[in-house]
Amino acid sequence: MVLESKKQMEFNKLNITQLSAKDKPFVIAGPCSAESFSQVMETATQLSKLGIKIFRAGIWKPRTKPGEFEGVGKIGLEWLKSAAAATGMIPAVEIATAQHVRQALASGIDIMWIGARTSANPFAVQQIADTLKKELSKPTKFKRELTILVKNPVNPDPELWIGAMERIALAGITQIGAVHRGFSSYEKGLMRNTPHWNIPIELKRRMPNLTILCDPSHIGGKRELVHPISQNALDMGFDGLMIECHIDPDNALSDKYQQITPAVLGQITNQLVLREDSDCQSALAELRREIDEVDERIMELISKRMSISREIGNYKKENNIPVLQPSRYHKMVTRRVAQASELMIDSDFIKLVLEAIHEESVRQQLEYFNPHSQDG
């Protein structure tokens, strides 16, 4: 791991991704929450038969409202140890406080993840990093290699996500991976947490060796979305998946609408297609060329539109007509939004685009002909 001049840290590929069979995606699976000894054992047994090597289970659950199921706590670590001993799987838990870190380490947990609500809080992440550093510096008989996965923060801020990983890296952890679980939004859409795929793609661009997993369960929030979101992620070059699996999803104590049974997970992983890099690469290169062409045309059209707009500005100035004419603008937006649905363009999206173009047109009309208005 090196600190570049631009202060962009680099991360190494995670060793754990080699744990999946060649023709299968790398998958971490397990229940949202450990609920009982038998649920943990049964889920782990079924997942292990599918060839899953890493078993996830939350035992401390951050909940939006008080009074909801907050996880079984420390006892869950014992269940995970038993499940690991019985199946040979590697357990992974979510940690959010210094105490969680100490208890997980004391129970021999080597894979931990930082949840979305925690990675949004630099104080909490720093406390985790400091505790990891302190605990790992204590003399032990054998050296441990910890893997820390950092979920994206709830808010769509790539810097906060990267910052959380940097804090962990600065504590001396070299095995760090990112988990994309989507971002909270006020608007309730098709997905529980909006994916904003450009953000993990930007992470990959800046840190090409960073391992990025996708958590389709928390992105989609619905069982039927697990498969398409997983395929989407693999097609985009994600390194693997973290999927919530429960033996009886309808009766799960948390996130029941998004958990799938191990049997369904088996069907999904059998159907997921791992595309050959070369197939993807040439198809991708072609599509990118097309995108570049379209972008160039969009630029030319915007430039043309701005030049017409400046002409209009000139006309308005000469004829003493105000620059802003709200009624004309509203008519234009209404017409375009109606047109958008015929063209399969999202109406909220097109409103944003039109607003931005309009704002720039007005700015140009005001400034182009009064370039020194600020000074006078």
Q: Which residues bind ligand PEP (CB under 6 A)?
A: 32, 58, 94, 115-116, 151, 181, 218
- Please name the helix (run of DSSP H) or strand (run of DSSP E) that holds residue 178, with its range, or none: strand 175-180
Residue 239 interacting partner from Mn ion, ligand PEP, none (CB closer than 5 to 8 Å by kind): none
Decide whether 126 or 184 has the Cβ nearer to ligand PEP.
184
Decide whether 59 or 105 has the Cβ nearer to ligand PEP.
59
Residue 167 interacting partner from ligand PEP, Mn ion, none (CB closer than 5 to 8 Å by kind): none
Question: Are the beta carbons of 254 and 69 closer than 8 angstroms?
Answer: yes
* Of 31, 106, 101, residue with least CA distance to 72: 31
Residue 96 interacting partner from ligand PEP, Mn ion, none (CB closer than 5 to 8 Å by kind): none
Tell me which DSSP letter residue 108 carries.
T
Decide whether 17 or 184 has the Cβ nearer to ligand PEP.
184
What SS3 state is found at 307?
helix
What SS3 state is found at 371?
coil
* Of 99, 102, 115, 104, residue with least CA distance to 80: 104
Considering the complex, what minimum distance in angstroms separates the CB of residue 218 from ligand PEP? 4
Q: Copy the structure tokens of residue 299.
A: 């630029």
Considering the complex, what minimum distance in angstroms separates the CB of residue 87 from ligand PEP? 20
Please report, for residues 68, 95, 203, 221, the alpha-carbon distance to residue 9 in angstroms, rounded to integers and kept in the order given: 38, 23, 11, 32
**Closest-approach residue to Mn ion (CB):** 32
Give the integer Cα–Cα distance in Å for 184 and 33.
20
**Closest-approach residue to ligand PEP (CB):** 115
Considering the complex, what minimum distance in angstroms separates the CB of residue 125 from ligand PEP? 13
Location of structure tokens 């909220």: 348
Considering the complex, what minimum distance in angstroms separates the CB of residue 363 from ligand PEP? 40
Decide whether 115 or 216 has the Cβ nearer to ligand PEP.
115
